[in-house]
A and B are shown apart, each in its own frame.
Chain A
């Protein structure tokens, strides 16, 4: 059976919209165009009803109540709102925030901005497997700590943090716990009660919904979390996020959450099957490949692998009918290799050779087999071309060579 090219294995970056999600959205681009805030006619009522339905769908997926969900333009906004909103609201209580080294830039750069405004931020290191040690969190707590923010699962290496334990520590100390849930929600069970989460950022387009819409869970009871708004205006979303609601987008997010909840058990089994097929296929046929991050605590759809002696961008060039991403400097705008892999202690030489595979709902075994064949073929060709592979085969320790660096 032949596969349709190109193959999309970059589902941590974004996912295609599920046809069921699209169908649910379409009426809201057409006859049901009303403003959900219009309280005095049927157009507005239809919009409002759709939004409230979506709120319930999102809440149900994460064990929340509908009133605890507010809609945003996406997870970057949700991350900004949960961090800046707490920082401003609880400024009199303290100015210390705890986060960790391999958060998404939407969290790290938000924290960096707050540092400019007089907040103190602790960036915890991660362990070799990419996870945060809850005890490190406990040790970092000060009397002035007002917020702990740790991502549920990492977007590059797919490693899942001990969220429940960290949440418990936060609760014991009466500190608000905010979680970037973008990669985890809809993929693995996330429950704001069990996991002791006070704020949770969600994105639609990572779970087969549309781009430009997200949500923020804001705990209302035990404790009731208050946020200062980042965007002021008409007082929508209980004053926490003004702006006319993106009704079609919100409907799409709701539907995406509903589908994810219904199919999660089966889908995660399928993802794990495909991921293991990919991993085993590559490991069986290539030497000197290394997995970055914990294999035990990992999203079922993620594989992040370094192919020693083969530079990532040249590898991507050779597999141009497969969409994946690389931690190589040459593929980023900054010309720096991945800060995530660096934080794990992966040497820069290996960081340059890493590939992130992100499997998704619409991938197949045939696609995995094609990717394995193609990877083996291109890695082998590039190793023939690699002076480092030749040196390693001659028994030279690459790390001991005195390189002329600029």
Chain B
């Protein structure tokens, strides 16, 4: 299978790899996917509780090149955005940016889910209600 240049670039130079302390009240952690499905993404964000701006984002991913690229891109995109702006990122935006083929669309869905899960975790820590539309689809 041929990969788009952007997928290869993210795979070779993944952005924001790493972990944030998950006990930190300002850190939201999203862990989505399953090993038996061949994809697991962990996305973490450090969110300023006053401005609701995502100040830091880190990821680790077990999965194919497209899954790694999708999560790498997600960390790049959410950094500096507000929580609401980040929640507006759709998987189709990721598909377009990385030129993912149809068989890899699930990678982008997983990345969108990871964003929602991480923000949901942060909201829970701050007793903010998570509407159904912001819950991961899987």
Contact = CB atoms under 8 A, between A and B. Distances in A.
Contacts of B40: 386-388, 403
A317 B3 contact: yes
A349 B35 contact: yes
Given A335-B103, A387-B61, A404 B34 contact: yes
B11 A404 contact: no
B37 interface: yes
B61 A386 contact: yes
Interface string B3-31: 10000100100100101000000000001
Given A404-B136, A404-B138, A386 B37 contact: no
A352 B33 CA distance: 14
Interface in A297-315: 309-314
Contact of A352 (B8, B14, B38): B38
Interface string A39-76: 00000000000000000000000000000000000000
Interface in B35-66: 35-42, 60-65
Given A405-B138, A406-B138, A348 B64 contact: no
B62 A388 contact: yes
A385 B136 contact: no
Nearest to A347: B36
A330 interface: yes
A398 interface: yes
A337 interface: yes
Contacts, number: 84
A349 B33 CA distance: 12
Contact of A311 (B1, B3, B14, B62): B62
A232 interface: no
A311 B19 contact: no
A398 B35 CA distance: 8
B68 interface: yes
Nearest to B117: A404
B38 A385 contact: no
Q: Which of B19, B64, B67 has the most CB of A within 10 A?
A: B64
A25 B36 CA distance: 47
A321 interface: no
B86 interface: no
Interface string B79-105: 000000000000000000000000100
Interface in A236-281: none
A390 interface: yes
Given A335-B103, A405-B138, A406-B138, A314 B37 contact: no
B32 interface: yes
Interface residues of A, number: 30
Contact of B65 (A313, A349, A389, A398): A313
B39 A311 contact: yes
B65 A314 contact: yes
Contacts of A312: 38
Contacts of B60: 385-387, 390
Contacts of B61: 385-387
A314 B35 contact: no
B64 A313 contact: yes
B108 to A, nearest CB: 14
Contacts of B8: 317
B138 A314 contact: no
A387 B61 CA distance: 6
A169 to B, nearest CB: 37
B79 to A, nearest CB: 18
19 contacts: A310-B62, A311-B39, A311-B64, A312-B38, A313-B38, A313-B65, A314-B63, A317-B64, A318-B11, A329-B38, A335-B103, A347-B36, A385-B60, A385-B62, A387-B42, A388-B40, A403-B33, A405-B34, A406-B37
Interface of A: 309-314, 317-318, 328-331, 335, 337, 347-349, 352, 384-390, 398, 403-406
8 smallest CB-CB distances across A and B, nearest first, come from A403-B34, A349-B35, A348-B36, A387-B42, A313-B64, A387-B60, A352-B38, A330-B64
